[in-house]
A and B are shown apart, each in its own frame.
Chain A
Amino acid sequence: MATYLFQAVLLPIVLSPVAYWLGKSLGVRSGWFTFGLMAYSTSLLLISASTGPSYSETYPWQPIGEFGLKADGLSLPFATTVAILSTVLAIYSMPYMKHRIEEEITTSSSSEREEQVKSGIGSYYMLYLLYTSGMIGTTLATNVIQFYLFFELMLIPSYFLIARFGYGDRNRISFMYFIWTHAGALLLLSGLLAIGFLAGPPGMPKFDMAAIATASIPFGLRVWVAAAIAIGLFVKLAAFGLHIWLPYAHAEAPTPISALLSPAMIGIGGYALIRFLLFVIPSAYLTTTFALSIWGVVTMIYGGLMALAQDDIKRLLAYSSISQMGYIIFGVSSAFYLGVSGSVFQYVSHGTGKAILFMVAGAIILQANGLRSISSMGGLVRKLPITATAAMIGFLTIMGTPPLNGFQAEWMLFSGSFAGAFQSGSNAKVIITAIALFSTAITAGYTLWTMKRIFFGSLPPELEGVKEASALVTIPLLFLAFLTVTLGVYPSLITERIIPMMKAAMGG
């Protein structure tokens, strides 16, 4: 049996101490090691994808069940997005983290400075590898305990990344992040354990997802478990009311980590929502959809309105992510295969789009002495033409404008929602979907307005000296922009995996 996925997930974990050691001895250049490792993981994922619609590996893991890794139409878009983003951001991190660590150093002795940069870089890339493989592992897991372990593996390193390298009141913020996400995680864990115990005979719990899916569990209990899991995941997705940790954490995290946190990690909540509600405890799904759709729309609109009120560019992007998670929740609530597929696509396109935008914010921070206040910006397109082009593409994909992938996601998501509403004959759902679509105008509002405030108009004199960032920043940006266009024009790279799977699961 091939071990593609096993390697893709575990190699970064096993080799993370090597990244630390390389960082300590080589300094910033050691980022290329992490890049190579993540590129290897990415290619393994793509190889496993090329074998067919669904590929899996299982390893015995008694007494819990099986340790399985499965790349099917649902997990693959998520895992690949995470892998590609973390590959690209490994490069971007080099100049950015060097700058970030140097900012914090107080000593003036150059040899000491160098030592501190090296050890900082070492810890950064070690945590980075643990964090990203935690994300990839979460999406590929086939066993709920295994899922939870990977889920924790992405939380803990990200806590340390914010606490060690973040901005502002980072100790308080990372703590807040930790508490909130753990509150959610524990609710999730209780749901997972409960369903595991319910699935087997007394004393013999079943934790393999496939086994749980076929087990007979009383309907009333399943709904409660589904609610616990959904609310636990809503913390991760930063749904309205459970979102307050996100603007702090995502704004103050070091920017490459924001670019992974914001689109990639929180969206995994969307993955888990689909996986558990539709594939692990499917019969409870339909009872949850109406509540989900309301919660989704409220999150969409609320996040967008909050984004309009921000002046800090990273906080603005963070609120925008909340709004975009609302889209994912809304798609999941559609009760139709196309809507759920749209949510998956939305994860991918928000992943590329928002990563671009955080990288743009980072490029401005790098090149303009840590400037984050939008009201102090203006006219930057003259100084940062490549960054501005990438930003435009990022904003347009968040807006859902063709030919970018955000449009493909959006039309599928909303089309599915309409179809689901007509199928169930729910007029309320038709109206909610129309409201949701009209609220996308808010997205257009804050994206275009932000673009204008940052890049157009007159250039403040103090920004006269700003120059375009190095190729280590701009090439990753352009690569992601290219990906965004490619998936927009040629969506079948994703749709041909996810749609057949969702059709088979949900009919239609």
Chain B
Amino acid sequence: MVNQLIPWLVWILPIAGALLTPGFARIHSKIRDYFAVGFSFASVLLAGSMLPSAFAGEINHFQLDWIPSLNIKAGVLADPLSIFMANVVGWVSFLIMVYSLGYMKEESGLTRYWFLMNFFIGNMQLIVLSDNFLQLFFGWEGVGFCSYALIGFWHTDELKYWVGTPGKVAWGVPQAYSPTHAGMKAFITTRIGDIAFLIGLLILFSFSGTFDFTSLATKTTWASNLASVGLFVPVALLIFGGAIGKSAQFPLHEWLPDAMAGPTSVSALIHAATMVKAGVFLVARVGPLFYAAAIAVQQIVPLFATIAWIGVFTAFLAATQAMVSKEVKKVLAYSTVSQIGYMMLGLGAAGLAVDFSSGYSASLFHLSSHAIFKAALFMGAGALIHATQTKYMHEMGGLRKSMKITFGAMLIAAASLSGIPPFSGFWSKDAILTSTLLASGYPLSGALFLLAVVTALITAFYSFRLIGMVFFGKKSENLENLEREGHHVHEAPAVMWIPYAILAAATIVIGIASPLFFEDKLRVTLGEFLESSFKIPFTQAVATTPALISAISSIIALSAGAGLGYYIYIARRIEPSVILQRSTLLTSVYRFFENRWYINSLYYKLFAYVTAAFSRILFSILEVGVIDRFNSVFADASVSFATLSDKFDLGIIDRLINGISKYGQKFSLVVRRIQTGIAQYYLLAMGVGVIALVVFMILVL
């Protein structure tokens, strides 16, 4: 068992660090920066110290009173799942904090930056370590807030900070957004998912009376009660809605590409490695709970097939857009959405397979390997953007000589993303493909597998496209202009490249360790955890045929995608624009992908524009046009009233009758009456009330 304090401190320390940041800033800016990094380091050391307990399969559960009258406790649950996740989050966070020291050096507003970064880490660890839904929701919204505030970090909204290409319009909707707009978009879109989440968990609470994960797992009458009124699947899917929003899955995926308006370190931490994985984590946390319950009420297929389909469709949808993006960060953002789709697919397939644990551990394995290589790619992209002063890949080019370390690290990470063996991404993606094949009981599992393989092909293509456009070919005009002005492109400082070099190295280490022991160890640890906590049967044996089929398919897909990418962007045998010119079909497909399948435009029209217009119309027609008139009627009536009580002044009555259009005059009259006659009026009104009451009494009694 671990010391009781440790899991608490893992999330409290970064929050404390955040709260202390303004204080440290008063002493010295260097002290502020180093303490901020220090708090995140202290937190991850504690998280690391819990690892032996995880491998021993221990469950550390500690609780405190929170809302006694509802029997709600605050608590931490450090089991193999949360300890594993806390370490992925913690280590990547810490490295990105170090990277920030270099990347954000020239910026102002750093007190806010460090506050939000540490506050984010604390809330993320709170999600990971919470033992109940309510407390998890605190972290859930906390990270959402940090994401909002950090996307909008450059709150002055100058044009250079915008995401997207200014002036570009799709379906009448502008496609470029200011940082604060993008932040707001992220917060509101994820909020829609969170509302679904909240509806689901409040209904769950009505039926179970608890938010506590362990109680929900042990007393499962809530599931049959929910199923008896037909709400089991709806509730589970509503809760999944939160994961869809947070992890930017279809149909709530449109916020993440625009979240790239934030600083790149933020994109790496929040919008690639950690927060967007919170949705996956949520499914991993409560998925087994619902799986075990779903078996009892026989509702597995509708629930887990939905998860799998949303995952695989999102993976495909986002990959197609990554193929045509011009901004380096946007390629990575679409790729993140796509890769999270894989993780969701793995979790969905887990529920559809006989052995829950293989899809489950595949998904978590891919989560960690993606966190590592995607954080490395983002940090590398940040270094590129710093060095070349542009976010567009076609304004880079030929950088492999001048930025050797960045090139090496990004190449390794991109190879991992493409799924080239032996890098970690190959094994983890392969495990997910295998788990799809294991869902053989589900009739459409073949379609899931096929779409996943096609996505793997696209993934390899856009990874090579990125590497090719940035590092190969000739230097772009932009770079030549820069050189003429005396800015020579050079390697990032050590404080920036060391973090992503470490992550690139980790990709290799995990890649080598995976087939030897790591993947299996993870599967066994998680499988035993599922068996002990949720009574989900765990089979040690691994089916070899599906693993072989998926390995062969993924290598074929990889060769096709990577080959094409290599041919066009690295070997540069043909100009991409020439290909497009040859075929109108390809051009329109390209347009379609580039315009985000028009989903973004549709959402703006359907929700933002319509709501705003509706509120304005309602205001002018109903509020001003009808309800506000009551006032005038009221005022008219009281004017006559006051006049009557003031000895009947014919002149005023005349003017009243004639003066329907002369509101202004009338009100000044009212006012004059009132200033002299308020007490009279008041007494009169009281009198009327009392008389009405007496009449009422007489009638009633």
Interface residues of A (CB under 8 A from B): 169, 171-172, 175-176, 178-180, 182, 186, 189-190, 193-194, 197-198, 202, 221, 241, 243-245, 302, 305-306, 308-310, 338, 379, 381-382, 396, 401-403, 407, 411, 414-415, 418-419, 422, 430, 433-434, 437-438, 440-442, 444-445, 448-449, 452, 455-458, 491-492, 495-496, 499-500, 503
Contacts and interface: CB of A to CB of B under 8 A. Distances in A.
The 8 closest A-B pairs by CB, nearest first: A309-B619, A171-B671, A499-B69, A186-B689, A308-B615, A456-B180, A305-B615, A419-B206
B631 A414 contact: no
A456 B674 contact: no
Question: What secondary structure prevails in chain A residues at the interface with B?
Answer: helix
Q: In which size bucket is the chain B interface?
A: 35 or more
Contact of B611 (A422, A442, A456, A491): A442
B201 to A, nearest CB: 9
Interface stretch (B149-157, B254-262, B489-497): B149-157
Nearest to B139: A402
B157 A457 contact: yes
B630 interface: yes
Nearest to A434: B199
20 contacts: A172-B671, A179-B634, A186-B689, A190-B692, A190-B693, A245-B631, A305-B611, A305-B618, A396-B145, A402-B141, A407-B137, A415-B202, A418-B203, A422-B229, A437-B199, A438-B195, A457-B178, A491-B66, A495-B67, A499-B70
B157 A305 contact: no
Contacts of B202: 411, 414-415, 418
B635 interface: yes
Contact of B67 (A189, A381, A455, A492): A492
B192 A441 contact: yes
Contacts of B229: 422
Contact of A441 (B188, B205, B674): B188
B624 to A, nearest CB: 10
B442 interface: no
Given A418-B202, A444-B188, A176 B618 contact: no
Question: What secondary structure prevails in chain B residues at the interface with A?
Answer: helix
A194 B181 CA distance: 55
B665 to A, nearest CB: 12
A402, A433, A437 — most chain B CB neighbours (10 Å): A402
A189 B692 CA distance: 11
B604 interface: no
Contacts of B525: none
Interface in B656-700: 667, 670-671, 674-675, 678, 682, 685-686, 688-689, 692-693, 696-697, 700
B195 A456 contact: no
Contacts of A193: 693
Nearest to B138: A402
A13 B98 CA distance: 60
B142 interface: yes
B611 A449 contact: no
B648 interface: no
Given A308-B611, A402-B137, A422-B206, A189 B689 contact: yes
Interface in B356-379: none
A499 B692 CA distance: 39
B609 interface: no
A275 B402 CA distance: 75
A495 B70 contact: yes
Given A194-B697, A305-B618, A457-B155, A401 B199 contact: no
A495 B69 contact: yes
A260 B618 CA distance: 28
B616 interface: yes
B331 interface: no
A437 B685 contact: no
A381 B686 CA distance: 50
A5 to B, nearest CB: 24
A495 B67 CA distance: 7
Given A306-B623, A309-B618, A458-B157, A169 B667 contact: yes
Contacts, number: 169
B145 A437 contact: no
Contact of B631 (A176, A194, A438, A458): A176
B152 A456 contact: yes
B638 interface: yes
Interface string B177-216: 0101100100110011001001100110111000000000
Contacts of B615: 305-306, 308-309
A244 B635 CA distance: 13
A361 B157 CA distance: 23
Contact of A381 (B144, B155, B689): B155
Contacts of A445: 188, 611
Contacts of A440: 195
Nearest to A457: B157
Contact of A175 (B205, B612, B623, B671): B671
A503 to B, nearest CB: 7
Nearest to B155: A456
Contact of A180 (B614, B634, B688, B689): B634
Given A449-B184, A495-B67, A503-B69, A175 B670 contact: yes
B187 A448 contact: yes
Contacts of A437: 195, 198-199
Given A305-B614, A407-B141, A492-B68, A244 B619 contact: no
A101 B148 CA distance: 40
B631 A452 contact: no
B628 interface: yes
A171 B674 contact: yes
Nearest to B689: A186
Given A496-B69, A499-B67, 13 more contacts: A175-B638, A186-B689, A190-B693, A306-B615, A411-B198, A415-B206, A433-B199, A441-B188, A448-B184, A492-B66, A492-B69, A495-B67, A495-B70
Contacts of A458: 156-158
A362 B512 CA distance: 63
A458 B178 CA distance: 11
B134 interface: yes
B482 interface: no
A442 B180 CA distance: 18
